[in-house]
Chain A
Amino acid sequence: MEEKIKKVMASVFGVDVKAISNTASPDTIPNWDSLRHMNLILALEEEFNVEFTDEQTVEILSYPLIKMVLQEHGVKTGNNKK
């Protein structure tokens, strides 16, 4: 799951996966603007087959928060592909 999140983030922000650190946020990724944030939400929802609430779409402004909210939606952590 962690890898998958980073892969999605990297493709949305147009950077290498290595550039997505465990604390990645708009402060560390200059491309993370409001338009790309929307793209990120849509890409994550499609990738993990979830739908974020209105509040969540605004809140998840860092890698740890994204991970946490996806876990709340029942997405399993670890490297198992599901």
Chain B
Amino acid sequence: MRDLKYSDILSRNTELGKTMQEPFYDIAVLSNIITSQLNEILEYTLRKENISARVTSGGYDNILQDAKRFNGSDLIIVFWEAANLIDGLQYKADTMSEEEVSTLLVKVKKEIDFLCLQLKGSSLVVLNRFSTLVFNNHNLKHNTFDKIVKELNEALERAIPHNVVLIDIEKVLARISIAQSVDFRYYYSSKALYTISFYKEYVGYIKPIVMSVRGKGKKALIFDCDNTLWRGIVGEDGINGIEMSGTTNGGVVFEEVQSIALALSKTGTVLGLCSRNNPQDVDEVLQKHPGMKLRDRDITIKKVNWEDKASNLKAIAGELNIGMESLVFVDDSDFEVNLIKQQVPEVNVLQVPAKLHEYPQMVRDQSRRFFTLTESKEDAERGRMYKQQQQREADKGKFGTVEEYLASLGMTLQISTNDRSQTPRIAQLTQKTNQFNLTTQRYTEADIEHFITDGKHRVFTFAVSDTFGDYGTTGVCIVDLDVGKKKAVIDSLLMSCRIIGRNIELAFADFMMRILLNAGIDEAAASFVRTPKNNQVADFYDRLGFDVVNRTDSETLYRINVANYKSSNIQYIEVR
């Protein structure tokens, strides 16, 4: 992105715009300075990832007025420049009387509260923290402008609702330097402060947020072993000849890389190994080497063998039930890196840099691609849950029929309705689930909150457990009820891939149809909206006996007379 010139971005963006398809992702930029160059740079960044972004600017210095107007956008970005809170605050602040300062603070704090109130119902908001850094990077002591901004940032922290993400704009300034970030020529003539270079860097902070809500974030980080997790080759140097400890010169960068990976696993990133090695050598290191930060329990999936790595990565994606494009793979060898680039270009490959001191920072730079907007208890548990899954798969072989196997699992399905405490998890499931997802509607926490409280929707969540462990909340169904007309519309139905293949969906459908019947609903409508990933549920409603109202390549509409629904009657799942 940094290398691409602005005019090339503009022309490529126009080209991408021509072939863009629905659903569109509408972004509004509200600001009290001119930020118009951001629009196309951001559009291009997202369109390149197949997100049909359309960016609109609000009116100049109309943040409060426009917050309401653009309420329906998928994302609102607020550029509230401290220096322009009043014209020329950066130089006026120090000559203002105490009274003038406190009047200003009261005014802006009220504006913050008002803005937050307006933004509360929005899907998702990104707001930049106030900063003085552009103007005040030389002074030894904090001046009045600094103090004002500090107090406003504190007010901002207190006021923001949960659908707002704060961005530290100072990090962007630090990455490319203040000199590269601002252009005072246009600040004084047109109130445009930031440069093209700044916006190119800034969109790097917005992209992971959008990728996360659109279900396109990275999910698994897979490492090679020798000279990638440790220095040396275990098969040749032996367990005592390799280094990855911070107490050794050669090991320190590897300890840091392992620790970064470990930290990522705690927020839901799955860790794996893909290495040409003797499995027992690697296992011995994982279990016994005193310098290892990563242990067996942290590694969800291991492909340590002599097969080619492209096949191994395919197998990893298959077993984790995620797409190849959700993988990031780290390896030190030119050969392997090029093989992966050729054979499985969807996988993101990183090569351990020749200058080893750059290695930890390279991995750290990647970590934002694993960003999840909504972190939940399930994230921290994900790696462990995948492991339980593998145990179940291994047990599958021992039974005569799949039904027998399922019956042996002792499954329990716990269903809750409109449970507000689950809002973050529900939003996250709608954002991340791709395969068992009938309509693939992505919702933010604010959207879910709205469904739960508006009295017209039932938001069902279901949690599954069995003798091997607890999967946590893994399914969501959102139904729009019109009790007066005795009609219901199934807006969303989705299940995490962790619980696919157990007929959970049938047990849930039985439960839901019974609820609808008891609520006096005569007719239920449902739909299947095709995406590149959800083919496995293309005939889900057909299998349940719904009538097809209309079928096209992209969508099928269904209807059913609730009283005619034939229950699947799964005996081996206990519904609570």
**Considering only CB atoms and an 8 Å cut-off, how many residues of chain B contact the other chain?**
18
Binds B, one of A3-11, A59-67, A70-78: A3-11
Sorted nearest first, the 3 A-B pairs with minimum C-beta distance are A11-B11, A11-B10, A8-B7
User: What residue of chain B has the Cβ atom nearest to residue A52's Cβ?
Assistant: B185
Instruction: Give Cα A34 to B190, complex, Å.
Output: 9
State whether the Cβ of B8 lies closer than 8 Å to any Cβ in chain A: yes
> Given that A54-B189, A57-B185 are known contacts, is A35 also in contact with B8, CB under 8 Å in the complex?
no
- Contact partner of B11 (CB less than 8 A), chosen from A10, A54, A57, is A10
State whether the Cβ of A39 lies closer than 8 Å to any Cβ in chain B: yes
Whether A43 and B185, one on each chain, are in contact in the complex, defined by CB atoms closer than 8 angstroms, is no
User: What residue of chain A has the Cβ atom nearest to residue B192's Cβ?
Assistant: A38
Whether A35 and B5, one on each chain, are in contact in the complex, defined by CB atoms closer than 8 angstroms, is no
Instruction: Give Cα A57 to B188, complex, Å.
Output: 13
Chain B, residues 187-223, CB within 8 Å of chain A (1/0): the string is 0011010011000000000000000000000000000
Which residues from chain A contact B7 at a C-beta distance below 8 Å?
A: 7-8, 11-12, 43, 46-47
Min CB distance A41 to B, Å, is 8
> Given that A42-B6, A43-B7, A57-B185 are known contacts, is A11 also in contact with B14, CB under 8 Å in the complex?
yes
A-B contact pairs, 16 of them (CB 8 A): A8-B7, A11-B10, A12-B7, A14-B10, A14-B14, A34-B190, A38-B186, A38-B192, A39-B10, A42-B6, A43-B7, A43-B10, A43-B196, A46-B6, A54-B189, A57-B189
> Given that A38-B190, A39-B37, A42-B196 are known contacts, is A12 also in contact with B10, CB under 8 Å in the complex?
yes
Which residues from chain B contact A57 at a C-beta distance below 8 Å?
A: 185, 189
Which residues from chain A contact B8 at a C-beta distance below 8 Å?
A: 11
Which residues from chain B contact A38 at a C-beta distance below 8 Å?
A: 34, 36-37, 186, 190, 192
Min CB distance A75 to B, Å, is 15
**Considering only CB atoms and an 8 Å cut-off, how many residues of chain A contact the other chain?**
16
A-side interface mostly: helix
Instruction: Give Cα A43 to B40, complex, Å.
Output: 13
Which residues from chain B contact A35 at a C-beta distance below 8 Å?
A: 34, 36
User: What residue of chain A has the Cβ atom nearest to residue B12's Cβ?
Assistant: A11
Which residues from chain A contact B189 at a C-beta distance below 8 Å?
A: 54, 57
Which residues from chain A contact B34 at a C-beta distance below 8 Å?
A: 35, 38
User: What residue of chain B has the Cβ atom nearest to residue A12's Cβ?
Assistant: B10
Which residues from chain B contact A34 at a C-beta distance below 8 Å?
A: 190
User: What residue of chain A has the Cβ atom nearest to residue B196's Cβ?
Assistant: A42
Whether A39 and B36, one on each chain, are in contact in the complex, defined by CB atoms closer than 8 angstroms, is yes
Which residues from chain A contact B5 at a C-beta distance below 8 Å?
A: 43, 46-47
Which residues from chain B contact A11 at a C-beta distance below 8 Å?
A: 7-8, 10-11, 14
Instruction: Give Cα A14 to B18, complex, Å.
Output: 12
Considering residues A7, A34, A39, A47, which has the most beta carbons from chain B within 10 angstroms of its beta carbon? A39
Considering residues A42, A47, A57, which has the most beta carbons from chain B within 10 angstroms of its beta carbon? A42
Chain B, residues 31-48, CB within 8 Å of chain A (1/0): the string is 000101100000000000
Which residues from chain B contact A39 at a C-beta distance below 8 Å?
A: 6, 10, 36-37
Which residues from chain A contact B196 at a C-beta distance below 8 Å?
A: 42-43, 46
Instruction: Give Cα A10 to B12, complex, Å.
Output: 12
Instruction: Give Cα A10 to B8, complex, Å.
Output: 10
Chain B, residues 1-23, CB within 8 Å of chain A (1/0): the string is 00001111011001000000000
> Given that A12-B7, A47-B5, A57-B185 are known contacts, is A42 also in contact with B195, CB under 8 Å in the complex?
yes
> Given that A39-B37, A43-B5 are known contacts, is A54 also in contact with B185, CB under 8 Å in the complex?
yes
Min CB distance B145 to A, Å, is 25
Chain B, residues 170-195, CB within 8 Å of chain A (1/0): the string is 00000000000001011001101001
Instruction: Give Cα A54 to B190, complex, Å.
Output: 12
Instruction: Give Cα A7 to B9, complex, Å.
Output: 12
Interface residues of B in 46-96 (CB under 8 A from A): none
Considering residues A10, A11, A12, which has the most beta carbons from chain B within 10 angstroms of its beta carbon? A11
Which residues from chain B contact A47 at a C-beta distance below 8 Å?
A: 5-7
User: What residue of chain B has the Cβ atom nearest to residue A37's Cβ?
Assistant: B190
Instruction: Give Cα A8 to B14, complex, Å.
Output: 13
Which residues from chain B contact A12 at a C-beta distance below 8 Å?
A: 7, 10
Min CB distance B38 to A, Å, is 11
Which residues from chain B contact A54 at a C-beta distance below 8 Å?
A: 185, 189
Whether A42 and B185, one on each chain, are in contact in the complex, defined by CB atoms closer than 8 angstroms, is no
Interface residues of A in 1-46 (CB under 8 A from B): 7-8, 10-12, 14, 34-35, 38-39, 42-43, 46
Which residues from chain A contact B186 at a C-beta distance below 8 Å?
A: 38
Which residues from chain A contact B195 at a C-beta distance below 8 Å?
A: 42
Which residues from chain B contact A7 at a C-beta distance below 8 Å?
A: 7, 11
Min CB distance B41 to A, Å, is 11
Which residues from chain A contact B36 at a C-beta distance below 8 Å?
A: 35, 38-39
Q: 20 more A-B contacts (CB under 8 A) besides A38-B192, A43-B196?
A: A7-B11, A11-B14, A12-B10, A35-B34, A35-B36, A38-B34, A38-B37, A38-B190, A39-B6, A39-B37, A42-B6, A42-B37, A43-B5, A43-B7, A46-B6, A47-B5, A47-B7, A54-B185, A57-B185, A57-B189
Instruction: Give Cα A47 to B5, complex, Å.
Output: 7
Min CB distance A56 to B, Å, is 10
